[in-house]
Amino acid sequence: MRILVTGATGFIGTRLCELLISQGHAVIGVSRSGGGGVAGVDYRVADFANAAAIRESLAAVDCVVHLAGRAHVLSDRGDSLDLFRSVNRDASLQLARLAMEAGVGRFVFISSIGVNGNESVGQRFTEDSTPSPAAAYARSKLEAEEGLCELLQTADMQLVIIRPPLVYGADAPGNFGTLLKVVNKRIPSPFAAVRNARSIVSLDNLAQLISLAAQHPDAAGQLFLASDGSDVSTHQMLGALAQGMQKRQWSIPVPQGLLALLLKLAGKGDMYTQLCGSLVVDCSRARKVLGYEPDTDTLRALMQVGREYRSRHKSST
């Protein structure tokens, strides 16, 4: 297949391009910077506002994997909904229209589990759960999903949507990147009293799922939730990373109410929900429909991430 990947030089895009190249696909990597480090990828500089450049990149493409977007911020102050909409909704719809014009067969949109909500209460999120986005980022992703479904309802181009939870890896940005730095610097953790459960997904597992979504004939028209298939607490997550880094984990049992207040005062109330709340998902649809087989030993994978991070940051250990 000839597959175009947007956000190709990012955290997820780089690993996905590596996987697709290893599977023998022709890969066009689109990003604002252009250059990338995966051998065999045809990297292109393309701004979504430049329709001519996008059209040129879409020539003879079989599938588009749309990873690029405006990421959620780690502060409640954040960005306005309009800014998220302009990139995550409007630019995605524009790309889909151009892909339709170019005769692309499938459009894989990487959304967010935040579309379902920021906490699961009483039961796991499934593809049939009622959307309940709590943040502007997630709201813009839901609006993009809705717009794409409407746009492609009667089109020949197939739509596949994937909603991943927290994606982890040694180079991960966002909240997980913050956790890596905290463990590496031996900063005491305030999460010893937190007894939550979170579904997360490794970079490798997510890349595998996206690859299946791009190729499998039964993926057409489907929505899939992603995860490793096993759940961990924030305390367990930190412990596994510390073990991989060969460092002692310092954990303080701060009462959750106090922790919530302190993070809110620091402008990071969303971080409390993301790190201390429970969010569990059911990824069985991807297993049944696509034959998705994730590595389900999340704690072992987290320890490996800790080892990789340690080897890349030896000077700060």
Of 298, 296, 300, nearest to 287 by C-alpha is 296
220: pLDDT strictly greater than 80: yes
Q: Report the domain count for the chain.
A: 1
Residues 6+ apart with CB under 8 A from 147: 89, 92, 93
292 classed as catalytic: no
Percent of the chain with pLDDT over 70: 97
Give the gyration radius of the chain's Cα atoms: 19
In a domain, 285, yes or no: yes
269: pLDDT strictly greater than 80: no
In a domain, 314, yes or no: no
The mean pLDDT of 46-69, rounded to a whole number, is 92
Residue 2, beta-bridge partner list: 26
Of 297, 306, 308, nearest to 247 by C-alpha is 306
Averaged pLDDT score across all residues of the chain? 91
- Residue 34's domain comprises 2-170+201-228+280-294
* Distance linking the first and last C-alpha atoms of the chain: 44
- Taking each helix axis as running N to C, give the angle between helix 203-215 and helix 11-22, from 0 to 180 degrees, rounded to the nearest 10: 60
Alpha carbons 185 and 206: distance in angstroms, whole number: 28
Q: Regarding predicted confidence, which is higher, 210 or 174?
A: 210
pTM for the whole thing? 0.93
Residues 6+ apart with CB under 8 A from 106: 62, 63, 64, 157, 158, 159, 160, 214, 219, 220
Of 309, 27, 36, nearest to 183 by C-alpha is 309
In a domain, 258, yes or no: no
In a domain, 185, yes or no: no
Alpha carbons 86 and 70: distance in angstroms, whole number: 9
- Give the confidence band of 78 by pLDDT, cuts at 50, 70, 90: low
Predicted pLDDT of residue 80: 85
301: pLDDT strictly greater than 90: yes
The mean pLDDT of 33-57, rounded to a whole number, is 88
76: pLDDT strictly greater than 50: no
In a domain, 304, yes or no: no
Give me the CATH number covering residue 39. 3.40.50.720
268: pLDDT strictly greater than 60: yes
- Give the confidence band of 72 by pLDDT, cuts at 50, 70, 90: low
In a domain, 247, yes or no: no
Q: What are phi and psi of 168, to 5 degrees?
A: -120, 150
In a domain, 254, yes or no: no
192: pLDDT strictly greater than 90: no
In a domain, 155, yes or no: yes
315: pLDDT strictly greater than 80: no
User: Which residue out of 43, 137, 272, 309 is catalytically annotated?
Assistant: 137
Predicted pLDDT of residue 122: 83
